[in-house]
Amino acid sequence: MYVCICHGVTDSQIEDAVDNGAHTMKQLTHELKIGSQCGKCCQCSKRVLNNKLMKISEAEPRVA
């Protein structure tokens, strides 16, 4: 699904960027330019980012 129409960025691209170390909106904007034009994709991008970070943290073994 396209998240950022201005730059043609999909949710999969955002998830890949998160896998490659972009863990903040600032880093995603630097990597993929999301939110850098009209800004309408910021909320949806943040949701994709947070869901992906949640999936990563749930997959990691817990350290007591």
CA distance 21 to 24: 9
Nearer to ligand FES by Cβ, of 14 and 52: the residue is 14
Place of tokens 């947070």: 50
When asked if residue 38 is in the footprint of ligand FES (CB under 6 A), the reply is yes
Nearer to ligand FES by Cβ, of 35 and 52: the residue is 35
When asked if residue 5 is in the footprint of ligand FES (CB under 6 A), the reply is yes
- Which residue ranges make up the site for ligand FES (CB under 6 A)? 4-7, 34-41
